[in-house]
Amino acid sequence: MRVHLRVLVLFFFLTMGAIGQESFKDKFENTKPGSILKFKVSFNDSLKNATELPIVIVKGKEEGKILTILAGVHGYEYPPIMAVQEFLGEIRPEDLKGSLIIIPISSTAAFYGRSVFVNPNDGVNLNNAFPGKENGTVTLQVADYITKNIIPLTDVFLDIHGGDASEDLLPFACYYNREGQPIATAMAKKLSE
Ligand SMILES: [Zn+2]
C-alpha cells in the first residue's frame, strides 16, 4: 500500500467476539474466494435521516485472517479515504491469503457535507458512537452495524484517521492496552510498531 500522507492516525485492536447478524456474515461467506464484493447498507431513523454505509469485501483466494480497514469515520479527513481508494485499486484478491473488509467512507454524510467531526444530519460523532444503538439515530445505527456484524468477524481492525479541518496532527499509530487480552494486545503493539 503506497500511502503518501503527512498525517495518519491508526488505531489497532484485535477482536475476540463471535456475535453477529446473519446477513453480513452470509454475504461474507458467500463471496467467492479470489473475488471482490461491493455493496451498501442503508439506514433510516425517526428524524427522517437516511444514510448509506459502503462496504467492500476482498475475499482472498486462500483462507486466512480477516483485516478490516475503516476510513472516513470522520468524513472530512480525506487522506485515509483517498489511501483506501488507492489501495483498492492495487489489491488483487487472487494474490491474497486471508480477506479484507474495507469501509472506504464510514460517515458518508460528513464526507459529502464537508462536516467537521460530526454527521451533519444527526450531529453525532461516529468516533464516539460505538458500540452504537440499533434504534438510535443514523450514526448510532452505523456504529451498531459495525459492532455487531463486522467486528466479530475481524482478526485485526484498523481505524485510519487524519487531521480534521481544525486539526494539525503529527503522524502516530496507537493500540488498545487491554490487560485482559495480553496476546491480542501484544499483536496490536507489534502491528502498530
Ligand atoms: Zn478522525
Of the candidates 120, 124, 121, 127, the residue with the CA atom closest to the CA atom of residue 80? 127
| Strand 172-175 with 97-103, pairing | unpaired
Dist. CA 126 → ligand 1 center (Å): 9
Dist. CA 123 → ligand 1 center (Å): 15
Of the candidates 76, 33, 39, the residue with the CA atom closest to the CA atom of residue 54? 39
Which CATH number goes with the domain that contains 133?
Answer: 3.40.630.10
CA of residue 113 relative to chain centroid, distance: 20
Q: Which residues surround ligand 1, an ion (CB under 5 A)?
A: 74, 77, 161
For the chain, the helix, strand and coil percentages under 3-state DSSP, each to the nearest 5: 30, 25, 40
| Strand 156-161 with 62-70, pairing | parallel
* Angle at 5 (CA atoms; ends 172, 58), nearest 5 degrees: 90
Instruction: Please give the residue range of the domain that contains residue 86.
Output: 2-192
pLDDT in tens, 92-148: 999 999 999 999 999 999 999 999 999 999 999 999 999 999 999 999 999 999 999
Domain count, the chain: 1
CB 108 within 8 A of CB 138: no
pTM score of the predicted model: 0.86
Task: Give pLDDT, residue 166.
Answer: 87
pLDDT in tens, 148-193: 999 999 999 999 999 898 888 889 999 999 999 999 999 999 999 9
Dist. CA 17 → ligand 1 center (Å): 25
The Cα–Cα gap between 1 and 134 comes to 34
